[in-house]
């Protein structure tokens, strides 16, 4: 009787798995760091970050970390244009900062993220993933605050995660918020694993058409532009920027005009908690808060009213003169919070408002975000802030 042949497929399967893991750990991160933007935009977020071209090598040295929402991710018209180009073109403020200062810069910006998620939750997960390829802690940390929707996003986070409906707007102590933020920021050895082993995720993204950033056909913030005054000027969202007469048919991003004082206070306390956590996480770094004004507070409107996106479908029509005073109030309050949390202060508002008189800094396809001129100006402001007012 012929003896049974030993099963070899388990060993072969194990060898295949080990070979795949070795390929993922040793080779694919290196490839991700050199992939063209059109390909790297399909990668999971940690590997997309590794491929950012605002640094000299694969891993940054003595580097600047940028945290925030879609503005920190460079979303908008410039990125849309860059995604259609070959290679790894520049498309946002971090590239300008790198070019102006020579510093390595990485952004963990994520579209739609609130202040807590963009600092504590997502930063923890992505750092856990990038630690596996040797990423060190940054020397400088810049946290973006965008007045256009950060407060609204913070309130939505409180409703989802912090028992807002049960406790009410005044039912939180700073200790409560710090404890919940710390709990949300937990990142064990397993965290970010899906962002480290990314070949299956890249395939899913390619097949599903998913990509990082850019402007899609669903964008509802597209401007109407004309070099002549509108023959019948609309009653809302009309302004002039340099040679252009502009009209926004839809809703624009404003400085949270519809929030009550109690809602504003809670949303700002969540911002303060996220800043406290960031200081504790990156011990030894220098910190600055970057204030980015909303588009509706940048331009001088000739229409009597403006239409803005509101929280939970509230009133959206306001007098055109309401945006800037509200913006100035929020800037003062956020600056106090930054100082109390040990952060330096880089306010883009004065320069952006001045430049918006002569040039269009947002859109026109995506008026909710900076275009090339806007991100170039922001990058210059960051470079000057780090050089002259480094905290």
Specify the pLDDT at position 256.
95
Give CA–CA dist 32/280, Å, rounded: 30
- The dihedral region occupied by 340, where left means phi > 0, alpha psi between -120 and 50, and beta the remainder, is alpha
Q: Which segments in the chain show pLDDT lower than 70?
A: 1-7, 20-27, 187-220, 389-391
Which residues neighbour 317 within 8 Å (Cβ) at sequence distance 6 or greater? 236, 305, 306, 307
The model's pTM is 0.90
3-state secondary structure of 106: strand
Q: Return the H-helix or E-strand segment holding 271.
A: helix 261-281
Give burial (CB, 10 Å; 0-12/13-18/19+) of 87. exposed
Query: What 8-state DSSP symbol labels residue 252?
Result: B
DSSP letters, 209-231, are T--SS---TT---PPEEESS--S
Give CA–CA dist 234/221, Å, rounded: 16
Residue with tokens 């992939």: 35
Contact of 360 with 373, CB cutoff 8 Å? yes
Specify the pLDDT at position 389.
56
Give the strand order in the sheet containing 344-347.
105-107, 64-67, 140-146, 286-292, 344-347
Give burial (CB, 10 Å; 0-12/13-18/19+) of 169. middle
Question: Residues of 277-296 as b/e, b for ≥16 C-beta within 10 angstroms?
Answer: bbeebbeebbbbbbbbbbbb
pLDDT (tens digit per residue) in 223-236: 999 999 998 889 99
**pLDDT cut 70: percent of the chain above it:** 86
Residue with tokens 């309130």: 155
Specify the pLDDT at position 391.
46
Specify the pLDDT at position 133.
80
Tell me, rounded to whole angstroms, the distance of Cα 342 from its chain centroid: 22
Domains of the chain, start order: 57-212+256-301+318-388 (3.40.50.1110)
Specify the pLDDT at position 206.
55
Which residues neighbour 227 within 8 Å (Cβ) at sequence distance 6 or greater? 243, 244, 245
């Amino acid at each position: 009787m012929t003896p049974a042949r030993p099963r070899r497929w388990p060993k072969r399967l194990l060898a295949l798995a080990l070979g795949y893991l070795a390929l993922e750990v040793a080779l694919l991160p290196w490839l991700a760091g050199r992939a063209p933007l059109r390909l790297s935009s399909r990668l999971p977020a940690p590997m997309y970050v590794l491929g950012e071209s605002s640094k000299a090598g694969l891993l940054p040295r003595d580097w600047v970390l940028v945290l925030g929402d879609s503005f920190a991710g460079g979303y908008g018209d410039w990125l849309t244009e860059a995604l259609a180009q070959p290679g790894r073109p520049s498309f946002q403020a971090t590239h300008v900062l790198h070019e102006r200062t020579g510093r390595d810069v990485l952004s963990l910006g994520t579209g739609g993220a609130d202040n807590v998620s963009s600092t504590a939750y997502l930063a923890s997960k992505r750092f856990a993933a990038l630690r596996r390829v040797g990423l060190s802690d940054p020397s400088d940390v810049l946290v973006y605050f965008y007045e256009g929707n950060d407060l609204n996003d913070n309130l939505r986070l409180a409703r989802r995660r912090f028992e807002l409906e049960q406790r009410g707007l005044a039912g939180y102590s700073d200790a409560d918020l710090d404890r919940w933020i710390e709990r949300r920021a937990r990142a064990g050895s397993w965290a970010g694993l899906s962002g480290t082993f990314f070949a299956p995720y890249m395939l899913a993204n390619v097949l599903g058409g998913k990509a990082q950033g850019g402007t899609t056909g669903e964008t509802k913030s597209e401007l109407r532009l004309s070099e002549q005054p509108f023959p019948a000027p609309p009653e809302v969202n009309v302004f002039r920027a340099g040679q252009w007469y502009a009209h926004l048919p839809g809703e624009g991003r404003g400085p949270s005009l519809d929030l009550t004082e109690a809602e504003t206070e809670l949303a700002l306390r969540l911002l303060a908690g996220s800043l406290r956590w960031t200081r504790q996480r990156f011990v030894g770094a220098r910190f600055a808060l970057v204030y980015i004004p909303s588009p509706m507070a940048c331009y001088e409107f000739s229409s009597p009213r403006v239409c803005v996106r509101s929280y939970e479908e509230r009133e959206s029509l306001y007098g055109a003169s309401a945006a800037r005073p509200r913006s100035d109030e929020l800037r003062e309050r956020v600056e106090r919070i930054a100082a109390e949390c040990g952060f330096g202060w880089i306010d883009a508002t004065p320069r952006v408002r001045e430049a918006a008189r002569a040039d269009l800094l947002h859109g026109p396809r995506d008026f909710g975000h900076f275009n090339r001129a806007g991100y170039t100006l922001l990058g210059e402001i960051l470079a000057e802030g780090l050089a002259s007012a480094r905290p």
